[in-house]
Copies of this chain bind each other. A is one copy, B any other.
Amino acid sequence: MSPDHPFDQAISLTAVDDDTYAGQVSEPYWNSISPYGGITVATVLNALLLHPRRLGDPLALTVNFAGAIRKAPFSIRVRAARTGRSTQHWQMELHQDGDPQPLLTGTAVFAVARDTWADTEAVMPACPPPEAVQRAQPPLVIPFLQRYDMRYVDCTPFAANAHSTTQCWLADVPPRRLDFPSLAAFCDSFIPRLFVRMGAPRQVSTVTLGINFHVGAASLAEESSPFVFTRTRANAFNRGFYDQEALLWSASGALLATTQQVVWYRD
């Protein structure tokens, strides 16, 4: 948390009551015609993190983008649907302009961790450190892209490719220590897989995004590098929708999150 960082300003919320939070769409994280989806996901997660009855750390999060969010105030309503001994289930909605139909729906699971046998099968690929890789200059003038330092490793995202896999280092601009909201935002930051295949931008829009967190708050707070390493790919492009999945590791090699999304597209 750095109060002056544009990310912290963008996800800041005011509690209206226990289950309602008021926010304002961020200019620095604006996309071409709507807010950057990652900042919206981070803001919704922040509402849960701020909630006085929140249990433990985020374990899983699903956010569905149901309608276009406008550059205007919004409210986030959350409900603790059921709280057990080790898990807590949340439902979330985002509204604007008093419209009873939500522009975003979601669910989340928070959990209390326990000491158990542990193993990570998804080991971070060998790669040069971020200092050894050049920062990519995105070809589009999109505000939110200026808020990320992306350093691609062994891939050429801005040319047509036979496969959609990209690997890159990723950090906030200016550099910021990792936390759950920034990780959640990272999960939507990857260049759309359709652009990687086509070698050029197309019309795309995220329909739904899921995140599984594999790290606790204490471990995450110990990561000193602002960079995460990410591997991202698509499984299929089909009849107007494609998927995207990614893994995110800390610079120290810990698996932090896995994420998947479905994207509407025009070719």
- The chain A residues found within 8 Å of chain B, CB to CB, are 59-60, 62, 64, 66-67, 81-82, 84, 86-87, 89, 91, 93, 101-103, 105-107, 109, 111, 113-122, 163-164, 197, 207-208, 210, 212, 214-216, 233-241, 243, 245, 247, 255, 258, 260, 262, 264-267
In whole angstroms, how far apart are the Cα atoms of A102 and B84 in the complex?
12
User: Which residues of B have CB within 8 Å of A107?
Assistant: 62, 64, 105-107, 208
User: Which residues of B have CB within 8 Å of A210?
Assistant: 62, 210, 260
User: Are A212 and B122 in contact, with the CB atoms below 8 A?
Assistant: no
Given contact pairs A116-B237, A118-B239, A207-B87, A82 touches B60 in the complex (Cβ within 8 A) = no
In whole angstroms, how far apart are the Cα atoms of A208 and B237 in the complex?
25
User: Which residues of B have CB within 8 Å of A245?
Assistant: 258
User: Which residues of B have CB within 8 Å of A207?
Assistant: 59-60, 87, 109, 111
Determine the residue in chain B with the shortest Cβ distance to A91: B105
Determine the residue in chain B with the shortest Cβ distance to A197: B119
In whole angstroms, how far apart are the Cα atoms of A235 and B211 in the complex?
13
CB proximity of A8 to chain B, nearest CB, Å: 27
In whole angstroms, how far apart are the Cα atoms of A215 and B243 in the complex?
12
